[in-house]
């Protein structure tokens, strides 16, 4: 195999011609097309020069692109080409024409239909996989009811620790700061109307019924949910999920179910923990701004906030914990073996979980609007 080269000569009639030789292809590793382009540059400007490609052993798109750009996309009778070479240059011309073609102006309804179709397919695939995952969880739970000795206690307790115990400091801190901020703002307004005592009603109902569960769910989704998605995604990238299948071990039983049950179990406790710290922060701010004592604040809180609100809060905690865990595992199992998919799915997991939590809370608030108020 010879490298790409050229030779300038004259024929019997005294006309100048340039003959190309060798492999004008990327298969020849020694080819330097940048150097060839520079060497041929003065010859491209000669309109009377005849080009002969009959001795070219092989021509691919890389070599053809050098000549095509030098000829400025023009083929004439001065260029001797074989049928195969001519077809290759025509293909390059069509590609170049498509690349430089201006987009059509105006509204194209087919583009909108295609976009809706892609969105529909995308959403339906997610819904299908989510329903399938939920069904597999139900099947595994039914299996554990028949064989409780196979319950993954170690994985379950580990997820309770990682999702619950390690989240206690951040939820307490954020809950207290939110309680102080809300109490301070409400105290400023209530003092104007002489309704200082109603801060207990407003703060207690808002924190116990709405703010505590929502705040817990958002923190858990951003902290534990993203960690679950990333962990399962790394297991897919490193083929640990496939290894479990080869060994005959259920990935749902050993990987997904402990995470879902662990977060669902610990979420109501996190709701109580977050709500208590938010109320403590609110009581502290009310004491500083309005002079309400801590004992009076909590004694009065028990009389104005009905116990059913705490029950609703715990129910929300169970629902939010389950949704965050299932969404996190769903996106983790959809991760492809590359880092871009890992980062994109982790972000999508957090955003989707928080969106689902807010939507569920809105529906739940509408359905229970007449309870405990």
Mean pLDDT within 210-231: 91
pLDDT digit string, tens, across residues 287-319: 888 888 888 888 888 888 888 989 999 999 999
* Residue 277: pLDDT band with limits 50, 70, 90: very high
* Residue 325: pLDDT band with limits 50, 70, 90: very high
pLDDT at 48 over 60: yes
pLDDT at 106 over 70: no
Give the pLDDT of residue 303. 86
For the chain, what is the mean pLDDT?
A: 85
pLDDT at 265 over 70: yes
Give the pLDDT of residue 98. 67
pLDDT at 332 over 60: yes
pLDDT at 14 over 70: no
pLDDT at 101 over 60: no
pLDDT digit string, tens, across residues 174-193: 999 999 998 888 888 888 77
The reported pTM is 0.68
Give the pLDDT of residue 373. 65
* Residue 1: pLDDT band with limits 50, 70, 90: low
What's the distance, Cα to Cα, between the start and end of the chain in Å? 88
- Highest mean pLDDT among 22-31, 42-51, 225-234 belongs to 225-234
pLDDT at 368 over 90: no
CATH superfamily of 5-99: STAS domain (3.30.750.24)
Show the tokens assigned to 121.
Answer: 């397919």
The residues near 296 (Cβ < 8 Å, ≥ 6 apart) are none
pLDDT at 74 over 60: yes
pLDDT at 137 over 80: yes
Rounded Cα–Cα distance for residues 2 and 24 (Å): 9
Q: At what angle do helices 61-70 and 83-100 cross, to 10 degrees?
A: 70
* Residue 107: pLDDT band with limits 50, 70, 90: low
* Residue 100: pLDDT band with limits 50, 70, 90: low
- For the chain, give every domain's residue range: 5-99, 153-367
Give the pLDDT of residue 354. 93
* Residue 103: pLDDT band with limits 50, 70, 90: low
pLDDT at 244 over 90: no
Q: At what angle do helices 109-146 and 307-333 cross, to 10 degrees?
A: 110
pLDDT more than 70, % of the chain? 94
Rounded Cα–Cα distance for residues 165 and 145 (Å): 27
């Amino acid at each position: 195999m010879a490298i790409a080269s050229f030779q300038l000569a004259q024929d019997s009639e005294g006309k100048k011609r340039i003959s190309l030789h060798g492999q004008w292809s990327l298969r020849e590793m020694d080819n330097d097309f940048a150097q060839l382009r520079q060497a041929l540059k003065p010859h491209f400007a000669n309109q009377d020069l005849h080009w002969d490609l009959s001795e070219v052993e092989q021509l691919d798109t890389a070599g053809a692109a050098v000549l095509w750009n030098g000829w400025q996309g023009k083929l004439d009778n001065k260029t001797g080409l074989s049928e195969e070479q001519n077809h290759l240059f025509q293909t390059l011309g069509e590609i170049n024409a498509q690349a430089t073609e201006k987009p059509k102006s105006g509204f194209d309804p087919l583009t909108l239909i295609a976009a809706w179709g892609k969105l529909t397919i995308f959403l339906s695939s997610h819904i299908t996989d989510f329903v399938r995952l939920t069904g597999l969880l139900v099947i595994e739970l039914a299996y554990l009811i028949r064989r409780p000795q196979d319950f993954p206690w170690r994985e379950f307790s580990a997820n309770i620790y990682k999702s619950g115990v390690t989240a206690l400091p951040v939820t307490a801190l954020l809950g207290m700061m939110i309680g102080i901020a809300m109490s301070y703002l409400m105290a400023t307004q209530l003092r104007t109307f002489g309704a200082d005592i109603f801060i207990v009603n407003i703060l207690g109902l808002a924190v116990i019924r709405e703010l505590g569960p929502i705040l817990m769910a958002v923190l858990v989704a951003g902290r534990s949910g993203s960690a679950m998605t990333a962990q399962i995604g790394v297991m897919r990238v490193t083929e640990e999920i496939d290894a479990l299948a080869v060994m005959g071990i259920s990935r749902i039983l050993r990987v997904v179910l402990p995470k879902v049950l662990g977060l669902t179990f610990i979420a109501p406790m996190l709701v109580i923990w977050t709500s208590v710290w938010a109320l403590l922060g609110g009581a502290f701010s009310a004491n500083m701004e309005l002079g309400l004592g801590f004992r009076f604040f909590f004694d009065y809180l028990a009389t104005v906030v009905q116990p059913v609100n705490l029950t609703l809060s715990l129910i929300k905690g169970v629902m939010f914990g389950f949704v965050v865990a299932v969404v996190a595992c769903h996106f983790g199992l959809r991760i492809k073996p590359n880092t871009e998919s890992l980062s994109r799915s982790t972000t999508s997991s957090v955003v989707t979980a928080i969106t689902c939590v807010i939507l569920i809370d809105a529906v739940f608030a509408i359905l229970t609007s007449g309870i405990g108020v």
